[in-house]
Structure 1
Amino acid sequence: MTVGIKYCGGCNSRFDRISIVNKIKSDYKEFEFSYATENEEYDFIIVVNGCHIACAGLQDLKPKKGFLIIRDDDYKNIRARIEQMGE
């Protein structure tokens, strides 16, 4: 399973974007993670937004199964959504 990672600009210092992604990577070692780049195809793309502005641009990104938008650190909810994307 190939997974692209797209980060927002990081203006919300109270939300540790890197920590949540590292936790996901640790729990899903069988997935292949990389920074999402334009015109590269992924099974799905995790988009990490630290606030409601959701500034992470999605144009020209190509997920086969869609985007998983993360806006908080509710990890139980995030894991359930990753499991759905992995099916």
Structure 2
Amino acid sequence: MSAHPQSFEILIVPAPDEGRDPAELPRVAVRAAVVRATGELGASGFPRYTGDGLEADIDPATPAVEALLVDGAELDYGLVARVR
């Protein structure tokens, strides 16, 4: 059994988001998705999570999105991904 979380919610929000209240992120998100562990490691070396059109490598210790595809493409310029 894996010690890593089995799911995360990813919020795609407009950048810059530094200094923004984390409680505000769901309100300003342009997309939100719950991703679930696949049991595989991504190219970044972190666990891979997928769901709702997102494919993410997430560092479960921080939790930070280390790699992300949205509907098979890289994240558009001006957007950032945050784990909630």
Name the structure where strand makes up a greater proportion of residues: 2
Name the structure where helix makes up a greater proportion of residues: 1
Superposed pair shares fold, TM > 0.5: no
- TM tier, smaller: under 0.3
